[in-house]
Amino acid sequence: MQTSDFDYHLPPERIAQTPVEPRHNSRLMVLNRGKEEIVDSKFKNLAQFLTPGDLLVINQTRVIPARLFARKETGGKVELLLLKRLATGEWEALVGGKHLHAGVRLKVENGPDVEIAGDMEGSQRILRFLQPVENMLPSVGEMPLPPYIHTRLADPERYQTVYANQPGSAAAPTAGLHFTPELMSTLVEYGIRFAKVTLHVGLDTFAPVTESNPLEHRIHTEWCELTQETADLINETRARGRRVVAVGTTSVRTLESSGQAAGKPGTAVPISGSTGLFILPGYRFQLVDAMITNFHLPKSTLLMLVSAFAGREFILRAYEEAVRREYRFYSFGDAMLIL
C-alpha cells in the first residue's frame, strides 16, 4: 500500500468555493457497497435511503474563530491558527512566518501578547497567551476556512453545522453542513433517530500525507467524547438490527474509538479524551454500518478512511464518476452516502 494509491485528478473548477442554499439542496451520491452501484440523488431525499430505526450519529463540535493575526516585536507579520487547547493559556498552533521559535514574543492584533513556549514539528508551535484568549476570539479571530477556498464567506455561521454547540474545532465537520432543521424534523418524523458525539477537528484536516508509505504517517490526536446516553442508543440500535450511520469521518473516528475501547466487538462504551485512531484499508469496523461524507482531498487520511470502508477501487471509481457528473468537491461541496 502506497500513498499514491489514493491519488486522483480533480479539475480546479470542481472545488466548491461557496455553499449551496438551502443546505439540503446539495447533491448526494449514494454508493451501495454490496452491489457496487452508484446512484445520483439530492441530500433532501436522504430518508429514501434509510430505514425507520436507523441512528444518525452527528458531531456537535463548533468551529472557533481560530485564525489570528499578530506581529513580532520587530514588526513582522505573523499568522496563527489555533489547533488544540492544551492548558489554561496554552494552545497548539500552526504559525506562519519566519524565525518563529521558542522565546519569541508576539502581539495579537487588537488582542493579547503571546509567547512561543515550545517548538514542535514543521510549523507547529506551542503558544502561551499572557491573557486568556478564549473569550476574546469572537472579536480578534477569524473563521479558519480551508486554504482551497478563496471566496470570502458572507455569513460565518454557514461554516457551522446547524447543531454545533461545543466550541473547540479548527475546521467544520463538513458532512454535517448539509443538514437543515427542516430536514432533521422530516427524518425524525420518518423514524430516524439522532445521537450526538463530539470530536474537535485538528491538524490532519490541513495536513496531507507526505510519506510514500501511509503506515509511516503519524496522525495527530484529536479530543473526542461519546457519552453513556449515546452509547446506549448505539447498542440499542444494533440490538434491533438497525444501522448506525456516521455523519462524517469525525463521527466515524469517534464511534470506532469507542468500539476499540469496548473490548467486546460491536459494542459502544463511553469515552472522553484524545484519539489517534488512523483507519486504513484492512481495518475492521466495529460500530459503523453506513456513513455520510463529503468528497476528500487526494492522498488524505480521510480518503484512506472511506476507502477502508467501501474499498479503494470502488471509491476511486466513484470519485471519477463524481468529476464526470460535475459534483462539487471538498468542504462546501456535495455529499456521499455509503451503504
How do residues 138-174 score in pLDDT, each as one tens digit? 889 998 888 889 888 889 899 999 999 999 998 999 9
> Is the pLDDT at 123 greater than 90, yes or no?
no
User: How would residue 42 be classed by pLDDT, with cut points 50, 70 and 90?
Assistant: very high
What confidence score (pLDDT) does residue 284 get? 96
pLDDT at 206: 60
**What 3-state DSSP class applies to 42?**
strand
Copy the grid coordinates of residue 182.
427542516
Phi, psi of 62 (to 5 degrees): -120, 135
Model pLDDT for residues 266-299, shown as the tens digit of each residue: 999 999 999 999 999 999 999 999 999 999 999 9
What pLDDT score does 182 carry?
98
- Its sign, for the CA torsion 109, 115, 116, 117, is negative
- Provide the pLDDT for residue 49: 98
Query: Can you tell me the mean pLDDT for 246-255?
Result: 97
* pLDDT confidence of residue 202: 83
Q: Which residues contact 185 (CB under 8 A, 6 or more apart)?
A: none
Alpha-carbon torsion angle 204, 17, 15, 144, nearest 10: -10
253 touches 262 (CB < 8 A): no
Q: What backbone torsions phi and psi does residue 269 show, to the nearest 5 degrees?
A: -130, 155
Predicted confidence at residue 50, as pLDDT, reads 98
**38 sits in which H/E element:** strand 37-42
CA 65 to chain centroid = 16
Q: What is the pLDDT of residues 15-30, one digit of tens each?
A: 999 999 999 999 999 9
Angstrom CA distances, 317 to 12, 42, 307, 310, 322, stand at 19, 20, 11, 11, 9
Cα dihedral 156→161→162→165 (10° resolution)? -90
Compute φ and ψ for 324, nearest 5 degrees. -65, -40
Mean pLDDT, the chain, whole residue set: 93
Q: Is 329 helix (H, G, I), strand (E, B) or coil?
A: strand
Q: What is the pLDDT of residues 181-236, one digit of tens each?
A: 999 999 999 999 999 999 999 876 666 788 998 888 888 789 999 999 999 999 99
> Rounded to the nearest 5 degrees, what angle is found at the Cα of 233, between the Cα atoms of 231 and 236?
105
- Report the C-alpha gap between 112 and 70 in whole angstroms: 10
Confidence of residue 122 (pLDDT cuts 50, 70, 90): confident
What domains lie within the chain, and their CATH numbers? 3-63+154-338 (3.40.1780.10), 67-140 (2.40.10.240)
pTM for the whole structure: 0.93
Q: Which three cell numbers stand for residue 21?
A: 442554499
Residue among 78, 63, 167 at smallest CA distance from 116: 78
User: Is a pLDDT exceeding 90 seen at residue 47?
Assistant: yes
Question: How far is 38 from 36, CA to CA, in rounded Å?
Answer: 7
- % the chain with pLDDT above 70: 99
Sign of CA dihedral 153, 158, 161, 164: positive
Give the pairing type, strands 55-59 and 244-247.
parallel
What phi-psi label fits residue 158: left (phi over 0), alpha (psi between -120 and 50 degrees) or beta? alpha
pLDDT of 73 strictly over 90:
no
In 146-230, at which residue ranges do the beta strands (DSSP E only) sit? 166-169, 193-199, 222-226
Run of H or E residues at 271:
strand 271-275
Q: What mean pLDDT is predicted for residues 310-318? A: 97
pLDDT at 29: 98
pLDDT of 88 strictly over 80: no
**What's residue 207's pLDDT?**
67
Q: How is residue 145 written as a grid cell?
A: 476556512
